[in-house]
């Protein structure tokens, strides 16, 4: 080996090592790039999302409870009209006294227009067959035959169980003082019994009992609606102003005593309503004053419109509490 070869050989060897190192580095980088393209993506956990209702939303069974109050019952017509306009569904109607009359008319056709038309035509003489001999020989100033005949002439459905909406009228067992729920049998007879104001109408023999006005024991029968499976109860209170300094005859005494009795049991029962509608400005309308129909209907409309935000809130709360949430994402 020559001296020249001994001097240059290490340089050549160093350059070769550098070249080999560069090739290896390039190959490693290429392999790394290829491995990144073929590697599966890394799962990144997503933040938890709010649960939302799954499937169709449940619907509450809404009951409309209509209290007694004779001529002030025209306010019930306005209430039903406003509820229908706002598309609030009514699944069950329970009524006492005039509440049973208005409720049955609506349950038969489910039309607030027909109800309003019928109510405007209704007059006191259509319902009250007063007679002196009735009071002397019977147990009331009016027999109640006119009332029952009027109902038969205006509600074509004979039996309660065949009405378009589930319906119940509330009466009182005169012998034993118990509440009687009439949810089957004759519509006309049930209304006559439920509206038989003690001392004004004669008691009614029906279903093996002697019955009088349901307001004696429960003038706003919210408990009946809940017992029948109502999820939400909208109750209408048309109680009179109890004060009355213009009592001049036996009928006035009877009606005032009835007003006091009705007002007292309403005060206790109305606390159980989910929504209470109490039309204002009609407390002074006499029980036999049929000249204030329009005023009472308008009061019912206005009171219902005022209560509408509460009604929507109660329905929304029920739906939210009974909706099934969708399963959480993994």
CB 224 within 8 Å of CB 94:
yes
Which has the closest alpha carbon to 130: 15, 249, 23, 301?
249
**Buried/exposed code over 228-240 (b: 16+ C-beta within 10 A; e: otherwise):** bebbbbbbbbbbb
Lookup result for tokens 């706002």:
86
Radius of gyration of the chain (CA): 38
CB 239 within 8 Å of CB 97:
no
Here the tokens at position 41 are 């993506």
**155 φ, ψ to 5°?**
-115, 105
Cα-Cα-Cα-Cα dihedral of 117, 119, 123, 127, to 10°? 130
Lookup result for tokens 């590697």:
39
For the chain, the residue count is 330
Lookup result for tokens 């009405």:
163
Here the tokens at position 51 are 């649960």
For 303, half-sphere exposure in the C-beta direction (CA atoms, 13 angstrom radius) is 25
Which has the closest alpha carbon to 193: 201, 23, 185, 254?
201
For 7, half-sphere exposure in the C-beta direction (CA atoms, 13 angstrom radius) is 3
List the catalytic residues.
97, 213
Specify the DSSP class assigned to residue 72.
G
CB 293 within 8 Å of CB 78:
no
């Amino acid at each position: 080996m020559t001296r020249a070869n001994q001097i240059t050989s290490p340089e050549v060897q160093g350059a070769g090592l550098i070249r080999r190192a560069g090739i290896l580095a390039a190959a490693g980088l290429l392999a790394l790039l290829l491995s990144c393209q073929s590697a599966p993506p890394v799962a990144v956990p997503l933040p938890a999302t709010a649960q939302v209702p799954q499937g169709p939303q449940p619907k509450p069974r809404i009951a409309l409870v209509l209290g007694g109050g004779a001529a002030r019952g025209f306010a019930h017509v306005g209430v039903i009209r406003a509820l229908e306009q706002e598309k609030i569904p009514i699944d069950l109607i329970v009524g006492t006294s005039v509440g049973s009359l208005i409720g049955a008319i609506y349950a038969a056709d489910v039309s607030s227009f027909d109800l309003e038309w019928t109510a405007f035509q209704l007059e006191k003489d259509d319902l009250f067959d007063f007679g002196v001999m009735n009071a002397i020989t019977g147990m009331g100033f009016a027999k109640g035959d006119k009332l029952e005949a009027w109902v038969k002439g205006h509600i074509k459905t004979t039996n309660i169980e065949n009405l378009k909406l589930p319906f119940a009228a509330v009466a009182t067992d005169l012998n034993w003082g118990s509440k009687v729920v009439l949810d089957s049998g004759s519509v006309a007879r049930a209304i006559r019994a439920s509206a038989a104001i003690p001392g004004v109408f004669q008691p009614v023999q029906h279903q093996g009992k002697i019955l009088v006005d349901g307001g004696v024991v429960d003038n706003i029968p919210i408990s009946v609606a809940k017992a029948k499976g109502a999820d939400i109860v909208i109750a209408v209170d048309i109680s009179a102003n109890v004060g009355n300094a213009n009592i001049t005859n036996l009928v006035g005494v009877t009606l005032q005593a009835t007003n006091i009795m009705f007002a007292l049991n309403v005060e206790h029962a109305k606390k159980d309503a989910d929504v209470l509608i109490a039309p204002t400005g009609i407390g002074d309308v006499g029980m036999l004053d049929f000249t204030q129909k329009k005023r009472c209907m308008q009061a019912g409309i206005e009171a219902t419109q005022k209560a509408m935000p509460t009604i929507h809130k109660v329905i929304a709360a029920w739906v939210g509490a009974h909706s099934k949430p969708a399963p959480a994402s993994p």
